[in-house]
Structures are given as C-alpha cells and as structure tokens.
Structure 1
C-alpha cells in the first residue's frame, strides 16, 4: 500500500466500470444503485434474522444469493455490506492459500467498495476544490457521500497523494491506546514491535489519537500539532463508538502540508513533554 501511495488504478477502473454498467451519472450512490449493482452481477438480496452475530453477509455462489442481517440487527439497507460482499466476485477472489493472500484480498475488497461509494472523479473534484480554497475537510467528504468518518478517512488516503500531491498518515486507535489500523507515506514513525508490526502497539499518550479521549466535546472537529522525532505533524481526529469500545480515527500530514486543511489554526500542540497551547499554531495562509 505504501509503495503505491495507497492508490490502485485497476481497482478504480473496476469501480468506474460497475457504476457505468448501472447508469450511475455521478455523485454518491443510493441504496437503489447498490441493489442495481447486485442485480447486474446476477445476485439477489435476501434479509434473514439468523446470521451469526459476527457475520455481515453470506454469499451463495451457486444460487447467486446474498444474505444480509435482517430484523433488529439489520438496521436498514447497508450499501457497504452489499458492495464488500460482491467485490470478491468482481475481483475473482478464490479461497486464499495463505494469510498474505487473505490480507491482499481484504484490502482489495475494501478498496473497491469504497471506490464505488465515493467515485474517484467526484471525490477528487471535491477534494481538489477544497485544496484550492485551502479548506480540505474529512467531515465534508463524509457528508458529501453519506459514509462514515472512518470510510471517508480511508478514502482520503487513496486519493491524497495520487490526486492531490499530499503525503498523509491514518490511524485507528482504541480507547486503551492500542493501534488497530495504520497507514503512512509521510514519514511519521508509528510504534512497532521488534518484527516491525504496528497493529497492537500502544500509541504515545500525547498524540492526537490519544488526546482526543480527554476532550469534553467530541462531536466538534478536533485537531492538534504533535512534535515527534520525525518532525512536526498535524492531525484531525474523530471518535466513534462500537461494540468493542470507543475508537479514534485520525488523518494527519507533515507541518509543511497543513496549509491546505481546515483546522490548521488550532492552538493545541503537544510534544513528548506536557501539552501546550499555541496562540497561533501553524500557517494561516
């Protein structure tokens, strides 16, 4: 992912072809469009109440049926669940032979579904306009395509370098301080074990991904500057509650790139010492 700046043109093209096949004219996709994609691929959707608790969908390849949670678990139509389940069919995934292949397939399926939910041309146009106005905002990307903040943050990392020329990093951190997901191509140094694994490692308590849990108002956008041995980085963070606890989702850039983002004028800054507040942190122009 880092070697390709988290941008996969062949998956972008596959998403574009799917949307063209169902006549999608642009912008966010509706529930109806997701259903049309399933129908285009030859699958019917069925909502049942007896799927295992940890199962988001079951696909019957022989009878071309896709089963999704119904009843109290369903919570309405899930575009993401439909697209992630069908992505494996589009990409021709078979039973993985090892864990590396399993991870590659998971990355590709998640990427394709995100590229359908937030089409490249539309998302890049939105972000490009924001950059020209120096007001890039993950919240605005989220709202424009009716997705979660985490999905928007992931999608931003796909397009940030390839389409905007920005180096970025992404973190999802549990309230206990442990990293669940991470990506970077901007030089930030994530904590790692002796084998280089990042997931499962504790994050410095002064990083934005941790300090957000001490903020009283977590519904408003939160950002801060963090001084690290690799340089100063700026991050914007949101929290989200799940059955496994509360998580922070952060997107950040090196100090030199913060001029393109909303929230760059935050007075909050931390270092390995005690947190401080800056009267005018970061460039305003």
Structure 2
C-alpha cells in the first residue's frame, strides 16, 4: 500500500482553522454532515472530527471536499478564520489548552452553536487580559538562575543528548533528500523552509530587538541578509525559527519553559547543520586515530567553533563514551554558558547557579586571552581539587572564549594532548583567585581606589512578556509595512 498523503508540515497546528472553514462552507451551502460525507466518500462521524479539529484530513479528502464546494484546496487552507465567530471559537479552545487556564480549575467549555457569540467575546477578552497581566510579572534574576540550574542538571543526566530533537532533525533532512556527509548548502536550507510551509524574505529594516520574524498569516520568515557560514549566521537563525514549528512549541508557560524551548531550538539548528548520521562516523574515526578535535567538526560542516563545540558535547557521551565539559566565558572569566558531566566543578553562588561567576585565573578559559601561544588556541592540563583535566580553549572573537575539556584519562583521544602547558588551580580556596597575592596586597592595600564600571543589568529584572526583550510594537509595525508586498523571492 502507498503512504497516506497528509497535509504539509506546519498545517497540523491549524487543524481547528481548517475544520472551521469546512464547517463554514458546508453550512453556507445548507449541507448536512451526512450529505457532504456521501459526496466525498467519507462518514459523517469522520467529517465531524475533521470539522472539530480532532482528525487530520488527508490531501485526497481535502481535494474531494474542495471539489464538492467548487473551491480550490488552497481556499480551504487560507490562514485567516472564515468568520469572527470561528476565530472566537478557536481562541477559546486554544486558551483552554494552556496551563494557566487549566490552573483556574474551571470545567471545560465546548464553544458550540448554543454558546452566544457575546459570551465567547467575554471569555476570550478576559483570558487575554489575564495572560497580559501574567506576562507583566517579570522573572527575577534569582528565578532565572534557578531555571538555568535545573535545566543544566537535566542535561547532565541525559548526557546533553536530546533524542526527540535528533529524530525531528533526521526526519527533516530525509524529507528534503539530504544524503551527504558535509556542510548543508543554501539550497537544502531553502528546501527545509519550503517543506515547513514558509518562504524567506531578506530585509534591511528588521527590528533591532530580533534576529528573525515569522509572519504566520502569510507564511513568511523575515531575516537579515547575512552570511551562510559561521557565527549567528542566517542558517542557524532560520533553523532556530523553524524549530518552533517543527518541535510544536506553543506559548511558553514561564521563564523556565521559555529557556527550555530556546535550548531545544538551538539544539535542533545544530542537529540539522551537523547531522548525527554524518558527524558520528567522523568522530568515531577520529577517536580511533586518537585525533579528536572540535576544529574538524567546524571545518567539515562549515559552522562556528562554538556550534561545533556544542555539537561535540551532544554526541561525545552518547556515541564516544566520553564525559566532557563545555564553557563559554568572557575576557574577565565570567561564565555565560556551561555544561559538564565529567566532574569538573564550576564556581557557583549559594544557590548553585554558575552564570556570571568567574572561573579560576589558572584555567585555560582565561589564559587563552593572554597566552603568547594562544593562536589558534590553547591546550592545557589543569590540576584541580577534583582531579586533572585537559582543556582546549579558543578565542572566538567579540571578547569570548569557548573551552571543551575532558578528564586526564580521556585526553589520549585528542589532538593537542602533547601540550606542555600545565597549571594548578586551588579554587574555591580564596587564596587561589579571590584575594590578591599577599606581597601585592601589602604594597597597595589602602593605597588604591578603583572606580568600578557600572553594571546596571545586575539590578534589573528579566524583560517581561512571551518574547523577552522583543519590542513587539516594532515587530508589528514591521509586519504591517511588508504584509502587502507583492510576490516573494
């Protein structure tokens, strides 16, 4: 038997809308469910489930329904609701599916024909007001650090490997016919966007607070014109945007949920740009040759060093049986991102949060900025209270370094293991880094008065809203300017 024809990707989330349009057109023609079912070779019960958004119609059924209505299939799939009533019914159903609504403990309400339109207006309006009030409740830095710590603990437990996201990435690559072993071309990325039901537009006036904007009404994704290789390039931004739809992300329930979804979106982008099926044989062969290096992942798949390092940590424990750690630091040694399952101890505050903490001055992550041997990076052994670690650190530009490391016993698999650089770190012992050396302090104690650079962000709460830090007024004005543009590239 042949494979059942299904709706295009991205339409699944609009099943309610498709069903409402079918019901609207059927009633406009004064057809009963039984009459339409007879005309299209289906059953009334099946069509009822389709109209209520509980069953996905096949392309064959959609074509038959469109023919019975003397419409095109595209008209049934138009992105706007067929009526104000239909829009309200969908809004009320979607609201009842959200955790915040369910937490109210109200009995479910089916917005059928007997529910007055005015009642739906009130329910939808009141819930929108409740949602906006909830969004204005900003997360505090303490809540953000707690969410980061909890997510990092979960990542450690699963070896930083997300099997469900890997499966989504593999299915997308199969769908567009990617069978290669190297970097994905621009053509493949465009095919992925089209497969998800989107067209791309490159704009010079994209709002400053965003890297992309998805127009769900016209099925467009707006991007800045950028490079297709390296850094936060157009490829990774596009894939992070598409991940929202591929992974079925809805409105986040809070900052922790937002953080998890952003992590999954970044993971999806990396899993597509550095496919598991292509990267694992490369890494296994390198391990056999005792020549593992993040640079090889970067060069083969034409991604940034940071993405290559992230991807290495995704696959190293699962496929190479290697415990690893990763850290992104600035020139002052402050941690911006970190992950470990190899026992290395990152500096942490009283609540266990590591973000914003400074790593030891003796770590490669700080020495790479000042070492005379730092080009193209710095390999180093570091003796710590919990053991000796081998690290490879790279200055990735804009004042940041990315470091990947393993316990001493695993260094034998890596290029750069022959380094003679070795340091001893006694942190968290205050005599290691927290206090100046005694002789230096003796010369300058009470004779120096530095003026600290103001860091007002440490006093601020996190930006509120569903999309933290995004200026929605600018985004909506941008969409208004371009919504009527004729044609697409």
- TM-score, structure 1 length as denominator? 0.91
The structure carrying a bigger helix percent of its residues is 2
* Equivalence map 1:178-189=2 (5 Å): 178-189=334-345
Other structure's SS at 1:214 match: coil
Structure 1 position 56, deviation (Å):
1.1
2:219 to 64, 71, 84: 64
Structure 1 segments of 4 or more deviating over 4 A? none
Partner Cα distance (2:373, 2:289) in 1: 27
2:206 to 40, 51, 68: 51
Partner Cα distance (2:180, 2:322) in 1: 25
2:312 to 140, 144, 156: 156
Matched, 1:268 2:424: no
Structure 1 position 221, deviation (Å):
3.5
Structure 1 position 31, deviation (Å):
1.0
Other structure's SS at 1:264 match: coil
Partner Cα distance (2:198, 2:308) in 1: 27
1:83 to 229, 233, 239: 239
2:277 to 121, 128, 141: 121
Structure 1 position 178, deviation (Å):
0.3
Mean Cα displacement is larger for which, 8-17 or 149-158? Answer: 8-17
Residue 26 of structure 1 contacts residue 119 of structure 1 at CA under 8 Å; is this kept in 2? no
Partner Cα distance (2:372, 2:185) in 1: 35
Matched residue, 1:14: 168
Partner Cα distance (1:7, 1:266) in 2: 30
1:193 to 349, 352, 372: 349
Other structure's SS at 1:199 match: coil
Partner Cα distance (1:155, 1:15) in 2: 13
Alignment deviations for residues 16-55 of structure 1 (CA, whole Å, 9 cap, x no partner)? 0000000001222111101100001110000111112242
Partner Cα distance (2:374, 2:194) in 1: 40
Matched, 1:171 2:324: no
Structure 1 position 217, deviation (Å):
4.8
Matched residue, 1:279: none
Higher CA-based Rg: 2
Partner Cα distance (1:78, 1:217) in 2: 33
Partner Cα distance (2:236, 2:190) in 1: 11
Residue 96 of structure 1 contacts residue 102 of structure 1 at CA under 8 Å; is this kept in 2? yes
Alignment deviations for residues 149-180 of structure 1 (CA, whole Å, 9 cap, x no partner)? 00000000000000000000000000111000
Matched, 1:145 2:298: no
Partner Cα distance (2:161, 2:412) in 1: 23
Other structure's SS at 1:250 match: strand
Other structure's SS at 2:167 match: helix
Residue 377 of structure 2 contacts residue 395 of structure 2 at CA under 8 Å; is this kept in 1? no
Partner Cα distance (1:54, 1:175) in 2: 25
Partner Cα distance (2:185, 2:281) in 1: 20
Structure 1 position 75, deviation (Å):
4.3
The structure carrying a bigger strand percent of its residues is 1
Other structure's SS at 1:52 match: coil
Partner Cα distance (1:142, 1:183) in 2: 19
